Amino acid sequence: MPGTYEKIATTTLSSSAASITFSSISGAYTDLVLVGSAKSLLSGTDSIGIAVNGSGSAIYSRTYLETNGSSVTTGRQTAQIRVVSDYIMGTTGTADFGTYIWNFNNYSNTTTKKTVLYRGNNTAVSGGWNASAMVYLVDITSAITSLVIATMNGPNLAIGTTFTLYGIKAA
């Protein structure tokens, strides 16, 4: 990572878990970057959901672009309950983990709503999306101080799931 990136914390699961939480996030950076590699214990398609400051309220809206290699879909959704990766997570019965990157822009500013850029892929997903990119608006002006990461369909995250949170220092 460039010299402006500072690793805040890494969590790698040695046993399955319902969620991973990064809490007490310092406001010392201009942006946050969350990088993950995850797999669900669900036997079908699943996705990652992130609750900003623990909120599962309908404060998230998104514009998305998704592809499975042969078709593309785009759209806009409002009143979402999490920042979601969409169905590109590796699941039980697949060897591959989905890979993800979220950029939380201007996360510590307390006068503007938050934007999140997302990119992710998983080449092993069948019946779901292999790659997606999204822009989220999180309808809060408070600083982001915690991120709770979990699957959207309820099962635990699998052993080996890893997330690293980076802070980007002011240039």
Q: State the pLDDT at residue 158.
A: 86
Phi/psi class of residue 69: alpha, beta or left (left: φ > 0; alpha: ψ in -120 to 50)?
left
Span of 42-51, 95-104, 123-132 with lowest mean pLDDT: 123-132
Q: State the pLDDT at residue 131.
A: 81
Q: Domain boundaries in the chain?
A: 5-168
Q: In angstroms, rounded to a whole number, what is the distance separating the alpha carbons of residues 56 and 98?
A: 23
Nearest to 113 by CA among 140, 134, 136, 143: 140
Quickly state the pLDDT bin for 1 (edges 50, 70, 90).
Answer: very low
Q: Is the pLDDT of residue 57 over 80?
A: yes
CB 171 within 8 A of CB 3: no
Q: Are strands 131-138 and 48-52 parallel, antiparallel or unpaired?
A: unpaired
Q: What is the pTM (predicted TM-score) of this model?
A: 0.89
Q: State the pLDDT at residue 124.
A: 57
Query: How large is the greatest C-alpha to C-alpha distance in the chain, in angstroms?
Result: 45
CB 115 within 8 A of CB 136: yes
Top CATH class, 5-168: mainly beta
CB 116 within 8 A of CB 101: no
Residue 149: other Cβ atoms inside 10 A: 26
Q: How many helices (H) and strands (E) does the chain have?
A: 0, 12
Tokens for 9, please give them: 């914390």
Task: Identify the bridge partners of residue 83 per DSSP, sorted by sequence position.
Answer: 50
Higher pLDDT, 73 or 34: 34
pLDDT digits (tens, 9 = 90+) for 120-166: 876 555 555 578 888 999 999 999 999 999 888 778 888 999 999 99
